[in-house]
Structure 1
């Protein structure tokens, strides 16, 4: 039995459409008002500065929003976009506008691992704030007590680089880690860092027919 299980979210625990359709559609019209409504929030100020740095945008909120919408359309995992989305989603979950849903096998697996003494963490491109809100407001209740750590591209690094997984392992204090993801490139990076890996090829999801190569592959947890 592994000491730690680290889990991706999109396409692994929850349907991709919940992120790319439900959550994106919720955040899209709220990005501009959020930026304008939180001029003193350090996280927003930093995210806006990062958008300008990455895009070269020099104009006002409308130009920033156009950049952010372009990144959303391309499903670009840009850190400032994830930060702003996470803040908006956090409020959406708290207001009851949003409720997280999982594949049917997920919550029983999480609870089984937790009961067996396996320690759980998340590594997702979505911000830590967004992750915590996601697991706190679900159709199965508050699942945050099941998880000990949350990692994103800010506190860990890019999901397709081995250095990120070495960094996570140092925080976990263990090399006995198994990573579940539906993206082969992420599994390759985790394996390079010495982790066990499991590819999740769920029916109907974008990576159902991807080549998972040497990674053990399952259709459910």
Structure 2
């Protein structure tokens, strides 16, 4: 069946991994403690702090201890949903203040625009929160790319290396999995998407292979109609 929708990863796919690790994570590490202290009493933040306590098993942790836990999770790049949500809030302040600009590869920008104008529905699936995804594309170096996308998915849809997550996303999109092309630089994610019935294409920007999947070095080499 023909491809009707394209689901893309961010890190290493549309955007440089170095942007996340060298820009976003240090920014969050520096600004998160003050942000949490200043906003701990607000409902949206308080809910995430409670989620940190629950996930860490430290249900009585005070705000300073929760901050310590969060900084530890940042250091180990833990895919914890409450951490991702709080990072997204911190990054939003940075983007809105003009201190951050989302990195998106020029070849990805050009292809996404071409696919959108060609009638494909575009979606994002990343371990970063939906809020963080919106910010990378909405406040990108190439301008506001958010009109290109029809939806965003994060770890609330499930882990990225489990087929069930992709089945949920296909159901949410409202298309058979076979009509969706998933793009990623991680073979285990591609394996999971394929197991759910999606078509796959790997991004190997530095060359090499992603075993079992077609792989390209640039979005310019991807032709959805060929899948």
* Band the TM-score falls in, shorter-chain normalisation: over 0.9
> Per-residue deviation at 1:68?
1.5
1:197 equivalent in structure 2: 200
Task: Identify the match of residue 98 of structure 1 among 68, 89, 100.
Answer: 100
Deviates more, 1:165-174 or 1:70-79: 70-79
Q: Which has the higher helix share?
A: 2
1:212 equivalent in structure 2: 210
Aligned pairs for 1:2-151 within 5 A: 2-57=3-58, 58-151=60-153
2:223 equivalent in structure 1: none
> RMSD across aligned C-alpha pairs, in angstroms?
1.4
Cα distance in 2, alignment partners of residues 46 and 160 from structure 1: 27
> Per-residue deviation at 1:60?
2.4
* Structure 1 stretches lacking a partner, 5+ long: none
Deviates more, 1:211-220 or 1:139-148: 211-220
1:181 aligns to 2:184 (yes or no): yes
Cα distance in 2, alignment partners of residues 17 and 42 from structure 1: 33
> Per-residue deviation at 1:39?
2.5
Q: Note the alpha carbon deviations across 1:158-178, whole angstroms, 9 max, x for none.
A: 111111111110111112100
Partner SS, residue 84 of structure 1: helix
Cα distance in 2, alignment partners of residues 195 and 11 from structure 1: 20
Partner SS, residue 106 of structure 2: coil
TM-score (norm: length of structure 1): 0.92
TM-score (norm: length of structure 2): 0.90
Q: 1:94, 1:133 within 8 Å by CA — same for their partners in 2?
A: no
Cα distance in 2, alignment partners of residues 77 and 218 from structure 1: 27
Q: 2:162, 2:189 within 8 Å by CA — same for their partners in 1?
A: yes
1:164 equivalent in structure 2: 165
Partner SS, residue 63 of structure 1: helix
